[in-house]
Amino acid sequence: MMEYVLLFLSTVIVNNFVLSRFLGLCIFFGVSKSLNASVGMGMAVASVMTVSSTLAWVVYNYVLVPFHLHFLTTVVFVILVACFVQLLEMIIRKFAPALYNLWGIYLLLIATNCIILGVPLINAESNYGFVKSVVHAFGSGVGFAFALILMASLRERLALADVPKPFQGLSIAFILAGLLALAFMGFSGMIPI
Amino acid sequence: MSAVRGLWQIFVNGLFESNPIFRLALSLCPALAVTSNVYNAFGMGMSVLFVITANNMAVSLTRKLINAKVRVPVYITSIATIVTVVQLVLEAYFPRLYQELGIYLALIVVFAIILARAEVFAAKNPIIPSMVDGLGMGAGFAGAMVLIGVIREVIGNGTILDIPLFGPNYAPALIMILPAGGFITIGLLIAFFNHLTEVRKQAREKLALQEGGETA
């Protein structure tokens, strides 16, 4: 049990996917302009990632490994994840229109995204077991949401600051993310893993 | 002659005017993780150059066969196949690079720039311009990657391609090869390019104003 808690904490804060592995940057910089959108996006990513990684784990361990198709991992995962997100979008639109209005646009954005594809790949590469994979995927999603919400809060404050002209926009956002990553480095070494 | 010049224009457009990393901020995603040294940055840049060119050519060749409704899944499958080819080649001939790029190599599949070029350019143009567009965009991307790699490796490790530059007394600023340094380097580079664009724009306006004054 302790092992899973440690893995969860390590993926959320120590090896945060955005700030230490550069995954999900497109969403991270695109969405963090608004705090509300960040909360919605964070929750959408966390839930989709958990389910799609579980699916990918099953396919990897019961189809790709037994038939020695490792070299197809990239192709299969991309198609699997993209199809899953599309399917999810259709189901939500049909059965929960209210939820679709809140989340629909985020689902479209994350259909082919580095972080959604990256987590199943890392799971497959590290040979994680089933529970470990799920915990890892959930932790990555929560970590992403955490970083996104922190960044959005910082950028709301930044809107009031007097930023020199060349630095406005993406440039200052990158430097801000760098400082955030610096702060997160304080956690490294806290969890031996 | 004008055909060649047109192609050159397409190439230069990718290389400078809409350089994928600094201008469009597309596809800045995970590639930045491997810019902590020049060797990896160059390897990644070349892989992307190959994938984007090959995919542009494939999409351009099949553009009349693909139904518009299913084009995105087709493009993604095509990109994923080409990336798999790159993975297998690197694993066989450049094992060190393959090890260090790790999952980031597979993640080339989701680089927005590749899909964007297929959709915006290759789907509407014949094969030769599509290839040149891929080469230009890929070269722009690779150049930007190497630039970031050089800055980070020189400051963060005091070396270029593992060759020491400053002698044994140099204490490298380790922060630059850590992720935080990567973010900050890119932020500063974007600001620099913004500034450059602004200066050029002002110079052009001044020139236009002068010429306007002379004719009047």
- Residue range B120-131, pLDDT digits in tens: 888 888 999 999
Residues sharing a CB contact under 8 Å with residue A192, sequence separation 6 or more, in sequence order: none
pLDDT value at A192 more than 70: no
Question: Each residue of A102-123: pLDDT tens digit?
Answer: 766 677 667 767 788 888 888 8
The pLDDT tens digits for B135-185 are 988 888 888 888 888 988 888 888 888 788 777 777 788 888 888 888 888
Give the distance from residue B173's alpha carbon to the nearest chain A alpha carbon, in angstroms: 14
As a residue count, chain A comes to 193
Check residue A137 and give its pLDDT: 92
Contacting residues of A for B76, CB less than 8 Å apart: 78-79, 82, 112
Q: Each residue of B18-58: pLDDT tens digit?
A: 666 665 555 566 677 888 889 999 999 999 999 999 999 99
Q: Is B175 within 8 Å of A117 when comparing Cβ atoms?
A: no
Q: Residues near B107 by Cβ (< 8 Å), separated by ≥ 6?
A: A23, A114, A117, A118, A121, B29, B30
Using CB atoms, pick whichever of A26, A114, A171 lies closest to residue B191.
A171
Highest mean pLDDT among A53-62, A77-86, B101-110: A53-62
**Confidence at residue A54, expressed as pLDDT on a 0 to 100 scale:** 92
pLDDT of residue B26: 53
| d(C-alpha B50, C-alpha B53), whole Å | 5
Cβ–Cβ gap B29/A177 under 8 Å: no
Of the candidates B4, B23, B58, the residue with the CA atom closest to the CA atom of residue B143:
B23
pLDDT band of residue B88 (cuts 50, 70, 90) is very high
Q: Which residues of chain A are at the B interface, by a Cβ-Cβ cutoff of 8 Å? A: 19-26, 29, 71-75, 77-79, 82, 112-114, 117-118, 121-122, 125, 164-179, 181-182, 185
Q: ipTM exceeding 0.90?
A: no
- Surface of B (149-178) touching A: CB under 8 A: 175, 178
Min Cα distance A43 → chain B (Å) is 20
Interface test with B, best of A15, A33, A136, A171 (most B CBs within 10 A): A171
Question: Which of B87, B188, B189, B190 should one mutate to test binding to chain A, selecting the residue with the greatest count of A CBs within 10 A?
Answer: B190
Q: Which residues of B touch A179 (CB under 8 A)?
A: 180, 184
Q: Is the four-CA dihedral A156, A157, A160, A165 of positive or negative sign?
A: negative
d(CA A139, CA A12): 5
> Smallest CA–CA separation between A165 and chain B, in Å?
8
pLDDT for A38 beyond 90: no
Rounded Cα distance between A74 and B206, Å, is 52
pLDDT of residue A188: 78
Q: What is the mean pLDDT of residues A120-136?
A: 89
Q: What is the pLDDT of residues B4-15, one digit of tens each?
A: 777 888 777 777
What mean pLDDT, rounded, does chain A reach?
Answer: 85
pLDDT value of position B176: 84
Residue B110: pLDDT over 70? yes
pLDDT (0 to 100) of residue B130: 92
Label residue A164 by pLDDT band (50, 70, 90): confident
| Cα-Cα end-to-end distance for chain B | 36
Cβ <8 Å between B187 and A173: yes
Long-range contacts of the stretch A72-77 (C-beta < 8 A, 24+): A72/B84, A73/A121, A73/A124, A73/B106, A74/A121, A74/B80, A74/B83, A74/B84, A74/B87, A74/B106, A74/B109, A75/B77, A75/B80, A75/B81, A75/B84, A77/A117, A77/A120, A77/A121, A77/A124, A77/B106
Residue B15 burial class via C-beta count within 10 angstroms: exposed 0-12, middle 13-18, buried 19 and up: buried
- The chain B residue lying nearest A174, using CA atoms, is B187
Q: How many CB pairs below 8 A link A and B?
A: 129
Q: What is the pLDDT of residue B83?
A: 93
CA distance B1 to chain A (A): 39
Maximum distance among all Cα pairs of chain A, rounded to whole angstroms = 59
Whether B84 and A72 lie within 8 Å, measured CB to CB: yes
Assess contact for B73 and A82: CB atoms under 8 A: yes
Mutate to test the interface with B, among A18, A25, A128, A180 (most CBs of B within 10 A): A25
Q: Which of B33, B109, B192 sits opposite A21 (nearest CB)?
A: B33
Res. A44 pLDDT band, cuts 50 70 90 = confident
pLDDT exceeds 60 at position A29:
yes
Residue B207: how many CB atoms within 10 A of its CB?
10
Residues 6+ apart with CB under 8 A from B160: B38, B150, B153, B154
HSE, side-chain direction, 13 A CA sphere, residue A183: 9
Residues of chain A contacting B29 with CB distance shorter than 8 Å: 22-26, 114
Of A114, A174, A176, the CB nearest to B30: A114
Q: How far is A101 from chain B (nearest CA, A)?
A: 24
What does the pLDDT average to over A67-84? 86
Q: Decide if B59 contacts B119 (C-beta within 8 A).
A: no
Containing A173, the helix (H) or strand (E) segment is: helix A170-184
* Partner-chain residue, chosen from B84, B87, B180, that has the shortest CB–CB distance to A182: B180
| DSSP H or E segment with residue B160 | strand B159-160
Alpha helices in A60-129 (DSSP H): 73-95, 97-110, 114-125
Three-class DSSP category at A190: coil
Query: What pLDDT does B1 receive?
Result: 53
For B184-211, write each residue's pLDDT tens digit. 888 888 888 888 888 888 888 888 888 7
Residue in A closest to B80 by C-alpha: A75
Contact by Cβ (8 Å): B182, B36: yes
